């Protein structure tokens, strides 16, 4: 696919950059999406590019919430569309969650391109023709699918903006956020914050889903009740601030 040797020490990072460059060329990703990815790279570097215990704990709580929810929607943006479509589809297939595109720099053309990108991988997604609205959000991200995010009680957002996370929480939905910066508004406001690279976090949620799916409702409720998001954020910031081992 790309001419990067698999044993290159920065292989995964370089592949991600190339996917975003391709996405920019095809109109799926945006220039500001590239900058946002760079910020994530820096935080991942400071985390040692590994999944920490605070991420595993949050993934476990996320899996329990998905099992308890009536309708879970995984929200897709320009960056996640090119970085991890397979991982999003795999989690949706495993958990019964729906997929919906939702863009800050929104256009019909971009939505349709992302729809085709998922269709080519055997998945159909919602949000191509938004017909409902999340209140209290001035950006185009307010436009959603009446059968998707609008109707969901649980939304999983990745690499998200803070305004939208706040609006989703205000509208009474539970929000799971995947984000590499524990200091940004999205993980500060989400119910469950997974401070990790989305490429590692999505398979980890799927693993935790497999472990949790045989549990009864009482057990799942225990898992979600024991989960403390403030501790996750505190531990993640400590990991970023402390020298790497």
By beta-carbon proximity to a copy of itself, the closer residue of 235 and 237 is: 237
Residue count at the site for a copy of itself (CB under 8 A)? 25
Q: Which stretch binds a copy of itself (CB under 8 A): 32-40, 92-100, 119-127, 129-137?
A: 32-40
Which of 40, 78, 148, 187 is in the footprint of a copy of itself by CB under 8 A?
Answer: 40
Q: Is-contact 81 101, C-beta < 8 A? A: yes
Return the bridge partners of 194, or none: 178
- Contact with a copy of itself (CB under 8 A) among 4, 12, 21, 162: 21
Q: What are the residues whose beta carbons fall under 8 Å from the beta carbon of 171, sequence distance 6 or more?
A: 134, 135, 136
Establish if 107 lies at the interface with a copy of itself (CB under 8 A): no
CA distance 124 to 134: 22
Shortest spacing between CB 175 and a copy of itself, in angstroms: 23
Q: Strand ranges (DSSP E) for the chain?
A: 72-76, 98-101, 132-133, 143-144, 154-158, 174-179, 192-195
Q: Does 187 interact with a copy of itself (rule: CB under 8 A)?
A: no
Determine the Cα–Cα distance for residues 203 and 156; give it in Å rounded to an integer: 14
Nearer to a copy of itself, 37 or 57 (CB): 37
170 forms part of the interface with a copy of itself (CB under 8 A): no
* Residue 222 binds a copy of itself, judged by CB under 8 A: no
**Hey, what are 118's tokens?**
């998922």
242 scored as a contact of a copy of itself (CB under 8 A): yes
* Closest CA relative to residue 179, chosen from 90, 68, 47, 10: 47
Q: Cα torsion at 149, 151, 156, 157 (round to 10°)? A: 30
CB burial string 18-41: b at 16+ within 10 A, e below: ebbeebbeeebbbeebbebbeebb
Nearer to a copy of itself, 109 or 218 (CB): 109
Q: How far is the CB of 22 from a copy of itself (least distance, A)?
A: 9
Stretch that binds a copy of itself, among 69-77, 143-151, 170-178, 233-241 (CB under 8 A): 233-241
Task: Determine contact, residues 185/28, Cβ cutoff 8 Å.
Answer: no
Q: How far is the CB of 99 from a copy of itself (least distance, A)?
A: 26
48 binds a copy of itself (CB under 8 A): no
DSSP 8-state assignment for residue 243: P
- Interface with a copy of itself (CB under 8 A), residue from 42, 217, 219, 221: 42
Q: Which is nearer to a copy of itself, 40 or 127 (CB)?
A: 40
Place of tokens 């109109």: 27
Given a contact cutoff of 8 angstroms between Cβ atoms, the answer to whether 29 and 79 are in contact is yes
Contact residues toward a copy of itself (CB under 8 A) are: 17, 20-21, 24, 31-32, 34-43, 45-46, 181, 183, 237, 240-243
């Amino acid at each position: 696919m790309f001419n990067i040797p698999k044993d290159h020490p920065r292989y995964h990072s370089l592949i991600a950059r190339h996917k975003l460059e391709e996405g920019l060329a095809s109109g799926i990703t945006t220039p500001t999406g590239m900058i946002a990815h760079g910020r994530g790279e820096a935080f991942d570097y400071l985390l040692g590019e590994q999944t920490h215990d605070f991420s595993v704990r949050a993934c476990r709580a996320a899996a329990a919430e998905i099992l308890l929810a009536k309708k879970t929607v995984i929200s897709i943006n320009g960056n996640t569309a090119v970085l991890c479509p397979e991982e999003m589809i795999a989690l949706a297939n495993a958990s019964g969650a729906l997929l919906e595109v939702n863009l800050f720099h929104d256009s019909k053309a971009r939505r349709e391109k992302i729809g085709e990108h998922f269709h080519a991988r055997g998945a159909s997604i919602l949000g191509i023709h938004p017909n409902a609205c999340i209140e209290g959000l001035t950006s185009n991200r307010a436009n959603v699918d009446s059968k998707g995010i609008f109707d969901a009680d649980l939304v999983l957002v990745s690499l998200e903006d803070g305004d939208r996370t706040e609006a989703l929480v205000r509208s009474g939905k539970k929000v799971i956020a995947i984000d590499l910066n524990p200091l940004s508004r999205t993980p500060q406001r989400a119910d469950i914050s997974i401070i990790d690279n989305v490429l590692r976090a999505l398979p980890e949620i799927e693993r935790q889903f497999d472990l949790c799916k045989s549990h009864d409702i009482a057990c799942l409720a225990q898992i979600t009740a024991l989960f403390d998001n403030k501790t996750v954020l505190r531990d993640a910031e400590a990991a970023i601030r402390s020298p790497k081992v």
